[in-house]
Structure 1
Amino acid sequence: MFQQYADITNISHSNGSVAGGLILTIYGRHFGGRLSSKRAYIDDTPCVVTEVMPGKHITCHVAAKPEILGSDFEGNRGVNYEYWTNMTIDGIETILWLDNLDPGYNFQRLDAANLDFDDVNGTRGRHAGKFTFYFKPPHTGHYRITVEMYMRGGGAAKLYMDGVEKMSSSFRYGHSRTMDVILHNEVKYLFQLIYHSTEGSVYMNTKAKYYNTTFTNTMVKKADQEQQRIKITSTVLNEVQDLVFIRELKQNHVFEVQTVTIDSVSHDLFRFGLYGVFTEPLSISFTEKEIQDSLLALPIWGPHESVSVKRSYSPALSIPTFTYEITFITTRGKKQP
């Protein structure tokens, strides 16, 4: 009876985050073929075995160090944002190893992988920062990871996924970078975005877009807006009206009658006018015939037109008055006195 130990020849990563999430491949011999019987540890931290290739390698998922777990939620809900003010570095990679014991340390927990900080008071200045978060894909397939970053004074940034550098660039004035990856929904991925800025103002937004859907499985140009040509035709129909003429009975004309009252105290002389022309001055002593003749002398009458005048006197009133009732014998209509 004898016991055979595994012979480890190499490992895929020599370092990783204490927050866990790294997919580690261990190369060697004598691993055996039963997945359930395999155990792996990083110090005293379990590394959950996910795959065994007998005689070649095993793959395991590194857990976080127990002392840095921030909550009981899977994936450590939220984003850990750490930054160190007035920090000068020798290589941006060294930010991965900064911790709360380094000078200028600050910590925030964000609800999303998004930050918009405007250093209006100049309190942060040249500084280094690190965003740490987990992403557990809802589906297995093709994802596009986009990092949008703005640093007013310029700077550099790198993105790590499970401890492996995936994106590196200088950022200034709203630059963005993308990468395409295949992710599995049963795996929890650790993302770390580190940056070094020469000034305090920083904007960061990280997002993942799933492409294996009916609508986004291919890249296409911008969609053209729908255009429709509408043709309207009409037929002109002429209006038709039926007119019915009813013969009316012949009626006698009713001539217009106007009454004029003149007090005998204030007005001894007066004039009548029609259509802007007037008679000569008339006196209250004139007879009906004299007044009628003065009216007929006006140059307004047509053939077969005439006028009649009736004069009456009312001495019993408080002011004695003369009333003239003038009848226009014409079919022309209402007169304009």
Structure 2
Amino acid sequence: FSEFPLCQIWWLKYLTWPAAQAAALGDDGPVTMLTPKVGSLNGATRLTIQGEGFADANQFSLNGDSKEYGNSVLLVSDTRSIPCDVERDSTHSNQITCNTRTMPEDDFVVRVSIDGVPIPENNICYGYYKPYWCSFYPRSYRTPTIRSLIPLSGLPGTLITMEGHIFTNVYGSNTAKSSNGLDVRVLRSYAGGMPCELLYPNSDTLSLPDRQTYIVSSLNKLAMFQTYAEVTKVSPSVGSLEGGTILTIDGHFFDQTDYPATVLLGGLKCEILMVLHSINVKHFQYGLAGGRGLKMEMWNNSRPAQLDDVLTYNESRPGYSVQWMDSLTYTWPLEMDDFVARISGFVVPPETDNYTFYIMGDDRYALYFSKTGNPKDKVKIAYMNYVASSFFSYSTQKSETMRLEKGVPYYMEVLLQEYKIVASVAVGLFKEKSYFTAQQTPEAINEVQVLMASYDILNERQVLTFENWTAGEAVSEVQSITIISTCFELDSCGYTYYSLIYNSERTARLAVSASAEGVQNALNALWSIQPDTVHVTKVDTVQGSEYKITFNSKRGDFQTLSYETPDLDVNITVIELTKGKPNLETFTLQWGGVLSKPIGYGAPESEIRAALESMLAAECPRELQVQENNQVIYFRDYEDWYNGRGTRVLDSEAFCGRYSLKSPDILFQYTDWRSSGGDYGPIPLQTYGKLCFAYKGWLKGEIGLNFSYKDTSGYTNSATYMLTIPIKGGIV
């Protein structure tokens, strides 16, 4: 018996061979070592490159920024190159010092250029491939980090405590090593580009801030700490209600570096006469927003039945205290129990936008808001009577979305009642517009949009209507082709060619001196002319050839033949001598440039359907015998036969026909059933020794053959053999 199993589909993979190590062992190369080997992802690692022949005299040229002068350093990995900024005052002919930039975790090899000329790779660490001694490895485990910063705002000079991952307890020294043996030290600290003095050498210090340490300021900038000015005195303290009083405002840190100073008095702008000295107040109105911060009032030993009762409390009630606070996130000391608090102040939106407020705390809490800015107009917008450690635990913690205007002060008030354990409250503000993403700061939320599209699938319907359709006598189309070339006079036309084109289909290449039979056979081979034929006659001239082409067809008018030729010395003229006329017994449909076979007038639906489906099918080559006979014992085109091996598909273009078999496990098995009845049985390989099949994809270069044979002793044996054959990938 015989079986033909389909070979497994396999994927080609690129093979990488070890590169030969280039070595220059005769002389030392100019680059011999780079230290340190490991450093920070956030840059500022100071690298020392040792070698010989580095630029010395030219590095302080007047054109020092040009790459054509002095030394330049690149750190190169398999996918990127990043400059390393050279310290010229620490560089000489045998040493280059440079500072790394922010870079990803990767393996980098140093590359040095001197006066714009790169040092050859075979002169960097003796030409070894990715040499360890000339490589730099930025790693997260050697990157200082900042995890937290306390407080988040304050006056210039505020003591800031930073926590994170550091590598040294050395402060202010350029010589001593850290107690862990690393040559690492804290030399300086900056806040927004300004120096920050380190007060406690042994405290945590860091350089790469974690994402959660970034907040969005009112100026729509990412920040970790916010400073502000301080007002210490306003004089005079009494003035005219009609305005015009000149006030002197004393304080600290009045800075106009980024923006000009502005002064609001009672919510109204004042005309500034001189910064830090005089302000001309045009008007004063009582009861509007004041300076920065919030007012927090507390009443100890207080347990109101309703939290709203705290709205009526005043400073005359027992247990009263008051203090200023800078944030609407606050946690009271653990020992404080049985008290109520009221926090009041104004919020000024940085932009006109839609805003939503959230509140959470421990134990009872409520948020009031006034859209007019008048405290008397406040209403409760969010509350909760239970402990919540998230803004999203209960629906009442969230306010309705409100449209607020930029620069307008809105009054708000927070009430809190504490019973036992820890008291806390936090108010969150969400605005719809943002300049940042969640990858930049945890305060941002990435917008998620879901696009849902629905559509109706409608089968297209077309109606063919034949009007004034009267059959008559057909007239055959006749065209002439005249070919002129100097090769005829020279009797050298054996290598001068052209092709004829009908309905975008090209004939095989024709010699300009081709016989009438040759041109006739080439045109009759075109699918767009079949099943009709042409008859060609030829007349030779001194300058060329003249062909007369008669279309043996009743379909009527044919398109005028066109042509193409690669030779400039060929002139071809096509003329329609007789315009064809159909007998109207048949008609032809055209779809996407494809012509159907002639369809009889009045044909039934089945004939029209078959003609349309044939336009979607690929024609089989004439050399392929599409039926079983004495020469072909087994044939399958999968158009109307299926044995369950693989998947019969219509959505992939077939080699010929419309259907193909996707991923079959076996091509043929002796138990396969004939269409005429009965199985095929064993196939004698001596008689049928050829296997032909068309495939699409990437197959392994072998075909499995399971066969049986009789040995010299007369015994029947079975064997499986893998035939190695050259199979190309793609469509064959």
TM-score (norm 1): 0.39
Q: Which has the larger radius of gyration?
A: 1
- Name the structure where strand makes up a greater proportion of residues: 1
Higher relative contact order (CA 8 A, sep 6+): 1
TM-score (norm 2): 0.19
